[in-house]
């Protein structure tokens, strides 16, 4: 297994195609590692193993349900897997919970980004369930990795974004609006 790129590292440069809409026109767009940096935004990129599976749509739909919460925090939300943009589009068109997502589904078909991040499972060569929180300078500030069979908690990712954005010490179980540590 490769070493997973972690906290303090620069997020790798990338330019990938993503599904941004299920509409007939403008359904694909190029997404780059510099998009959020140019806008002074944070980035949350969350990876799932593969489309048309059982756990993945529950997570993707949960991120979709919270996409406004990410936007309110100045976070560019990006979902990603090693499936193609055409598979992403077909899945979005055929799964009711995925039809109206407001964030892009990035296609790392070459697996180059997943490989550089060190998040490919060694036997199947699919990405682990990994979430990256990247600051507006392109530096990784948080990484969480789940086994292929375990879905993640979107509220916890939002909580960590809130904590990081305070730029202060936050105690265990801290939530936005609570006191930070001196």
Q: In a structure prediction context, what are the per-residue pLDDT tens digits for the chain, which is 182 residues long?
A: 468 999 999 999 999 999 986 555 568 999 999 999 999 999 999 999 988 887 778 899 999 999 999 999 999 999 999 999 999 888 888 888 888 888 999 999 999 999 999 999 888 789 999 999 999 999 999 999 998 888 899 999 999 999 999 999 999 999 999 999 98
Residue 156 domain-assigned (yes or no)? yes
- Residue in the structure block whose two tokens are 């976070």: 75
Residue 142 domain-assigned (yes or no)? yes
Q: What is the pLDDT of residues 122-152, one digit of tens each?
A: 887 899 999 999 999 999 999 999 988 888 9
Tell me how crowded residue 157 is: count the other CB atoms within 10 A of its CB.
24
**Domain total for the chain?**
1
| pTM score of the predicted model | 0.93
Cα–Cα distance for residue pair 18/33, rounded to 1 Å? 13
By annotation, the residues acting in catalysis are: 56
Residue 176 domain-assigned (yes or no)? no
Closest alpha carbon to 157 in 142, 137, 167: 142
Task: Return the percent helix, strand and coil in the chain, to nearest 5.
Answer: 25, 25, 50
Closest alpha carbon to 114 in 103, 125, 104: 125
Residue 78 domain-assigned (yes or no)? yes
Residue 179 domain-assigned (yes or no)? no
């Amino acid at each position: 297994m490769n070493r997973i790129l972690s906290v303090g590292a620069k997020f790798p440069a990338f330019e990938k195609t993503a599904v941004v809409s299920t509409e007939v026109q403008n359904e694909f767009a190029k997404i780059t590692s510099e998009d959020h940096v140019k806008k002074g935004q944070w980035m949350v990129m969350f990876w799932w193993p593969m489309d048309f599976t059982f756990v993945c749509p529950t997570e993707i739909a949960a991120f979709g349900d919270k996409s406004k919460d990410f936007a309110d925090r100045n976070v560019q939300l990006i979902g990603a897997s090693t499936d193609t943009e055409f598979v992403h589009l077909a899945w979005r068109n055929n799964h009711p919970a995925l039809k109206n997502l407001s964030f892009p589904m990035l296609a790392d078909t070459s697996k180059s980004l997943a490989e550089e991040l060190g998040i490919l499972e060694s036997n199947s060569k699919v990405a682990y369930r990994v979430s990256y929180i990247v600051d507006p300078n392109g530096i990784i500030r948080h990484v969480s990795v789940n086994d292929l069979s375990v879905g993640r908690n979107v509220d916890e990712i939002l909580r960590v974004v809130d904590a990081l954005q305070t730029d202060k010490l936050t105690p265990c179980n801290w939530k936005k609006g609570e006191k930070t540590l001196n």
